[in-house]
């Protein structure tokens, strides 16, 4: 222990060790200067920018909730942000004719009117309680699934091939379109629903309270 203590005292008084310590101090000082002069302002700017984005998002959500509360029972007035951001809530909105018309205009603007047309066709067929004629189901296939059709849906290959084989064998059932229906709901939710929310908030901001 005494030897170790003597070694430490000797190192602290040795010139080259003292020079090494000074270099560490100088380099540390330079690093601190670079951080506060260059890095810190950038991080601070990014932090302010991020806070600005988060603030705009909170304002967006608050405006949406306020609009829904003013609308009242027509739109369900959800109590949480999560309920707004769901396909189930979007589907409940589309039961209203005004909302459906707004979606129709937006989908036409985005060059995808087939999403709502297919959705409407399937929903109407679901209200029929007797067995559907194969010709009706083949008509749906010809209009929305067949390659090169006027309103061909952007389906994943597995879904498309399944419906193609069923149509070829004339064994189509309404439930066979369920997967295609869910895929189109997902596309509506991803591509059209955000545009609808944005346009609704914009119009509500200009409307008198």
Say which residue, 77 or 133, is predicted with more confidence.
133
Q: Which residue in this structure is represented by tokens 């064998």?
A: 169
Whether residue 80 lies inside any domain: the answer is no
Answer yes or no: is pLDDT of 130 > 60.
Answer: yes
Same domain? 56 vs 135:
no
Q: Where is mean pLDDT largest: 48-52, 81-85, 151-155? A: 151-155
Give the mean pLDDT of the chain: 74
Split at pLDDT 50, 70, 90, the class of 66 is: very low
With CA atoms as reference, report the closest residue to 173 among 132, 203, 127. 132
Q: Which residue has the higher pLDDT, 179 or 198?
A: 179
Look up residue 156 and give its two tokens: 């994943």
Domain co-membership, 132 together with 175: yes
Q: For residues 170 and 115, state if they share a domain.
A: yes
Based on the domain organization, do 143 and 189 belong to the same domain? yes
Same domain, 24 and 107: no
74 located within any domain: no
Q: Is residue 102 part of a domain?
A: yes
Side-chain half-sphere exposure of 117, counting CA atoms within 13 A: 16
Give the DSSP per-residue string, 144-156. Answer: HTSTT-TT-----
- Asked if 104 and 26 sit in the same domain, the reply is no
Is 28 a residue whose pLDDT tops 80? Answer: no
Q: Are residues 95 and 197 in the same domain?
A: yes
Residues 117 and 202 in one domain: yes
pLDDT value at residue 129: 81
Least confident of 43-47, 79-83, 201-205: 43-47
- Structural domain includes residue 189: yes
Residue 104's domain comprises: 86-206
Q: Does the pLDDT value for residue 39 go beyond 70?
A: no
64 and 79 Cβ atoms separated by less than 8 Å? no
- 120 or 204: which carries more pLDDT confidence? 120
Look at 30-44, 80-94, 99-113, 128-142 and tell me which has the smallest mean pLDDT: 30-44
**What pLDDT does residue 43 have?**
44
Do 20 and 106 sit in the same domain of this protein? no
CA distances from 115 to 134, 151, 180, 192 (A): 22, 9, 10, 10
Confidence of residue 196 (pLDDT cuts 50, 70, 90): very high
pLDDT of residue 119: 96
**Domain match, 135 and 200 both:** yes
| Same structural domain, 22 and 58 | yes
Residue 113 falls within a domain, yes or no? yes
- The answer to which of 42-46, 108-112, 179-183 has the lowest mean pLDDT is 42-46
Q: Is the pLDDT of residue 125 over 70?
A: yes
**56 pLDDT tier (thresholds 50, 70, 90):** low
Which one, of 141, 150, 128, lies nearest residue 170 by Cα? Answer: 141
* More confidently predicted of 177 and 85: 177
Query: Same structural domain for residues 119 and 167?
Result: yes
Tokens 């409940």 sit on residue: 92
Q: How many domains is the chain built from?
A: 2
């Amino acid at each position: 222990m005494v030897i170790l203590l003597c070694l430490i005292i000797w190192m602290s008084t040795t010139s080259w060790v003292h020079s090494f310590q000074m270099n560490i101090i100088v380099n540390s000082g330079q690093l601190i200067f670079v951080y506060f002069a260059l890095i810190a302002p950038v991080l601070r700017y990014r932090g302010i920018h991020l806070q600005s984005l988060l603030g705009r998002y909170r304002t967006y959500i608050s405006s949406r909730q306020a609009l829904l509360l003013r609308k009242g029972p027509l739109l369900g007035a959800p109590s949480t942000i999560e309920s707004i951001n769901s396909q189930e809530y979007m589907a409940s909105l589309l039961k209203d004719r005004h909302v459906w018309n707004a979606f129709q205009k937006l989908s036409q603007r985005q060059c995808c009117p087939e999403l709502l047309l297919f959705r409407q066709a399937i929903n109407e067929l679901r209200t029929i309680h007797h067995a559907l004629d194969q010709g009706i189901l083949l008509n749906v296939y010809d209009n929305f699934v067949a390659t090169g059709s006027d309103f061909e849906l952007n389906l994943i290959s597995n879904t498309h091939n399944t419906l193609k084989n069923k149509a070829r064998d004339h064994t189509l059932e309404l439930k066979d379109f369920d997967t295609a229906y869910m895929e189109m709901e997902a596309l509506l939710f991803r591509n059209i629903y955000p545009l609808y929310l944005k346009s609704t908030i914009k119009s509500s901001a200009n409307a008198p309270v």
